């Protein structure tokens, strides 16, 4: 495994719509391993392909005991809402409030191309949304929440 350089905001790759992964080979496995190591080293909870210079639909998310490697992920269900602080390894020194679903179900492929589906809540759901946005060239601050106070349990 190796650390990869994290692309910083201002780079055009962060604004690209990424293409789907079609080859489930050793190169993909190595990339996912490197992304995991790079994310942990940077103390993040998620990292997406374009953040390491690869405009492909791949992301890793790690929150507590949950580690996800998502290839071609799609949010197939979402419910509830949460408003909370977000930041990004590609946007150092910046954070803002973003509204996200409280619960999401994500369909994706694993590194071998096997179909997977998982339901996540809270921070894990937030991280999945944030990373999947990266695959469409969307950064968290594009979605800055500017609304008023809302009850957290709604
Ligand atoms: Co990010």
Q: Residues annotated in the binding site for Fe cation, as ranges?
A: 88, 130, 134
The single residue of 62, 99, 131, 144 carrying the catalytic annotation is: 131
DSSP structure string for 116-152: EEEEEEHHHHHHHHHHHHHTTT--GGGGB-------T
Q: Which pLDDT belongs to residue 91?
A: 98
Q: What is the pLDDT of residue 9?
A: 98
| Cα 53 to middle of ligand 1, angstroms | 13
The per-residue pLDDT string of the chain (154 residues; one tens digit each, 9 = 90 and over) reads 899 999 999 999 999 999 999 999 999 999 999 999 999 999 999 999 999 999 999 999 999 999 999 999 999 999 999 999 999 999 999 999 999 999 999 999 999 999 999 999 999 999 999 999 999 999 999 999 998 765 555 4
What's the confidence (pLDDT) of residue 150?
58
Asked if 58 contacts 35 with a C-beta cutoff of 8 angstroms, the reply is yes
Distance in Å, CA 25 to ligand 1 centroid: 25
What pTM value is reported for the model?
A: 0.94
Q: How far is the CA of 136 from the centre of ligand 1 (A)?
A: 12
Active site (annotated) includes residue 131: yes
For position 147, what pLDDT does the model report? 84
């Amino acid at each position: 495994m190796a650390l990869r350089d994290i692309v910083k905001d201002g780079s055009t790759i962060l604004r690209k719509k990424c293409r789907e992964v079609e080859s489930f080979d050793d190169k993909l496995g190595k990339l996912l391993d490197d992304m995991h190591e790079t994310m942990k080293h940077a103390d993040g909870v998620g990292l997406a392909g374009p953040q390491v210079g690869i405009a492909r639909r791949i992301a890793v998310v790690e929150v507590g005991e949950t580690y996800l490697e998502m290839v071609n992920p799609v949010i197939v269900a979402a419910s509830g809402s949460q408003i909370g602080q977000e930041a990004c390894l590609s946007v150092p020194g910046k954070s803002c409030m973003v509204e996200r679903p409280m619960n999401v179900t994500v369909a994706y492929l694993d590194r071998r191309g096997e179909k997977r589906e998982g339901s996540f809540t809270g921070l894990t759901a937030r991280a999945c949304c944030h990373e999947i946005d990266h695959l469409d060239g969307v950064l968290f601050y594009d979605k800055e929440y500017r609304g008023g106070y809302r009850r957290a349990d709604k």
